[in-house]
Amino acid sequence: MQKIEGNEKNLKQLLMNTKYTIHYYQRGYMWQRKHVAELIEDLTDEFLTSYKAGDTREAVKSYGIYFMGSIVLAGRDNAIIDGQQRLSSLTLLLMYLNNRLRENGQTYGTIEQMIFSESFGKKSFNLDIEDRQKCMNAIFSDEQSFDLTNESDSAKNLYDRYIDIAELFPSDAITDDMLLHFCDWLGERVFFIEIVAATEQDAYKIFVTMNDRGLSLTPTEMLKGYILSEIKNDARRKELDILWKQTVQDLTRGEPKGDEIFLKVWLRSQYAQTIRERRAGAVNQDYEIIGTSFHNWVRDNKDKLCLSAESDYEKFVLKFAEFSGVYQRIQRAEEVFSYDTRHVFYNARVSFTFQMQLLLATISSGDNQNIITQKINLTAMFVEMYILSRITQGRGLAYDTIKSYVFDLTKSIRGLSVGELKAELSRQYDKLGYDPAAILPDFALNRNNKRYIRHFLARIISFIEEQKGESSHYCEYVDTSGKNPYEVEHIISNHYENFTREYSDPADFSRWRNSIGALLLMRKKINASLSDADYNHKLAKYCSDDGNIYSASLGKEAYKNNPGFKKFIRDNDLPFKAYAQFGKAEIRERINLLVKLFSLIWNSDMFM
């Protein structure tokens, strides 16, 4: 092995005017929403711990630092051997900050130099990866609609994670007047160890050595060491060690840090009592400390976990294994549709970050499978109701915005019986004050709620299908992985010049065109083929095999030879009707229809 160089570098030093590559045989960008959520939470929490109202930007140089680990590079082309996921995600965060600053009329030249560099008048991204260029350009330019059909899996994942960052970044905690401070801190106070090897072969040797032999104990291993050290019986300690290792093996199958993710969620859901106040300079509490060093938190909070006698430590290991089983069951329900746990699956489709914490909070040690299923379903139904309430009222689901509410809810439902849980969730439902008749007339598509509107429409269509006695096609409606996925379709084409007699100005036209009452779900290719078509031409497609029962309900044929649909309408007194034209009056009527459909699907009966 040739000479190895290791240097401490902050993010600015690492990225500014420096190009990096990734070789073709390496895996692509793989991070999911949960990884980005954890990164955003860790970074913003660390920043807010130091920031005080009135601080100058110069004061940032004395803020606490955040260590992001090592980056392993090889050769003259700076090939990233280890660190691609982190650098890619941080670049997405920089792009988000840059776009937000532009929206506010602010500039921060250093950020752009950390994202791209210029040579001979040509700009190129510092993460110089060919199959991501179009996607990176779209993100950097803040394009609201980018066609991902022919893009690589890495590019699609990058675009999705950028949308996640925009949703998860705590804009209410890090306000516009603090953005430049945060940018300074991110660039100057977030550190790495850059390890540079002369050859790629040497770099891989370093990577393997670090992961196999040279790394310190993980937080999970340190926690295990502490717990098992309190168990004096050698034979019993050996049995529990085997159980712990098997549990960790199960948790890390397919997710290298799955054990750590589980432990954070479990401890927060079952044991955390305090959370940091939502103000700059506030001190971290149980919730935040568990997120950064759960192994130390357990040691320092034995009383909260009732750890006193040797038998208590044995029970902790048994609960660790027991709750990990429930956790993995919920994971499967999130990933694979099952009618018995369908609401868990629904919430996962809109990537609700806190679902696992809330569902685990209701579980008590010793609950049988039937009780667990009931608790999971009741809580998941409320979660879906909460999502609906927030999104339709334009309030969003940014991580930091709802964290305190979710934590309070976690404590209020912790360990309740099924009967107690029903009563509490019913009370929480009443507190939402959700009234579709008051909210839906103003609910419209925008850049931040498209995934939710697709989900709501998919739920409505699949509900009608089920009521007709047919199979639900919900999974098809929300699956975006294929080349021809379902997308939100505007019934009114985007040509204001053709509608000037009905709409007073372009803004008025846009409001009505994006109304929930003027939207459908259709296949992407159909959407594209109909984009400029008039209503009569569109209606023929809506009522054909290319449509669905909700789109077809705009035409007369849906009400002929369709006994299941007509019975559904009659039994629920629904104002479905066909339309020969489609304008403001028709949109109002469709909104009234949706008010009734929303009330049928989402209501307090869910908790009876």
Q: What is the pLDDT of residues 28-84, one digit of tens each?
A: 888 988 899 889 988 998 898 899 888 999 999 999 999 998 888 887 778 888 888
CA dist 548 and 56 (Å) reads 57
Helix (H, G, I), strand (E, B) or coil at 265: helix
Count of Cβ atoms closer than 10 Å to residue 570 Cβ? 9
| 139 has a pLDDT exceeding 80 | yes
Which of 134-148, 207-221, 239-253, 568-582 shows the lowest per-residue confidence on average (mean pLDDT)? Answer: 207-221
pLDDT tens figures, 472-514: 999 999 998 878 899 999 999 999 999 999 999 999 999 999 9
Together in a domain, 100 and 230: no
Same domain, 172 and 291: no
> Are residues 592 and 455 located together in one domain of the fold?
yes
pLDDT given at position 24: 61
Among 208-222, 247-261, 536-550, the minimum mean pLDDT is found in 208-222
Residue 59 structural domain: 4-214
- Render 505-555 in DSSP notation, one character per residue: SHHHHHHHHTBGGGEEEEEHHHHHHHTT--HHHHHHHHTSTTS-HHHHTTS
- Whether residues 60 and 162 fall in one domain: yes
One domain for residues 394 and 411: yes
Q: Phi/psi at 70 (nearest 5 deg)?
A: -100, 150
**What 3-state DSSP class applies to 101?**
helix
Opening angle at CA 508, ends 505 and 509, nearest 5: 85
- Domain end position, chosen among 193, 214, 235: 214
65-79, 154-168, 584-598: least confidently modelled range: 65-79
Residue 159 has pLDDT above 70, yes or no: yes
Q: Judge whether residue 453 has pLDDT over 70.
A: yes
Same domain for 350 and 323, yes or no, is: no
Q: In percent, how much of the chain has pLDDT > 90? A: 66
226 & 187 share domain = no
10 Å CB burial of residue 266 (0-12, 13-18, 19+) is buried
Please give the pLDDT value at position 594.
Answer: 98
Query: Residue 216: its pLDDT value, please?
Result: 60
Short-list 404, 439, 331, 390, CA closest to 167: 390
Domain boundary among 309, 332, 355: 332
Residue 556 or 198, more confident: 556
pLDDT given at position 215:
47
Q: What token pair was written down for 546?
A: 């290319």
Of 127 and 496, which is predicted with more confidence? 496
Maximum distance among all alpha carbons in the chain? 85
Mean pLDDT of the chain: 90
Same domain, 460 and 346: no
Q: Are residues 422 and 459 in the same domain?
A: no
In the predicted structure, residue 280 carries a pLDDT above the cut 60: yes
How many Cα atoms sit within 13 Å of 55 on the Cβ side?
Answer: 23
Mean pLDDT in residue range 122-150: 82
Are 209 and 240 in the same domain? no
**Overall number of domains in the chain:** 4
Q: What confidence tens digit (pLDDT) does each residue in 180-220 have?
A: 999 999 999 999 998 887 666 666 666 666 555 444 678 99
Residues 414 and 402 in one domain: yes
The verdict on 478 and 498 lying in the same domain is yes
Residue 48 — φ and ψ, nearest 5°?
A: -70, -20
Which residue, among 427, 440, 441, has the nearest Cα to 598 in the 3D structure? 440
Summarised one tens digit per residue, pLDDT across range 325-366 is 999 999 999 999 999 999 999 999 999 999 999 999 999 999
Does the pLDDT of residue 517 top 80, yes or no?
Answer: yes
Final residue of a structural domain among 214, 242, 259? 214
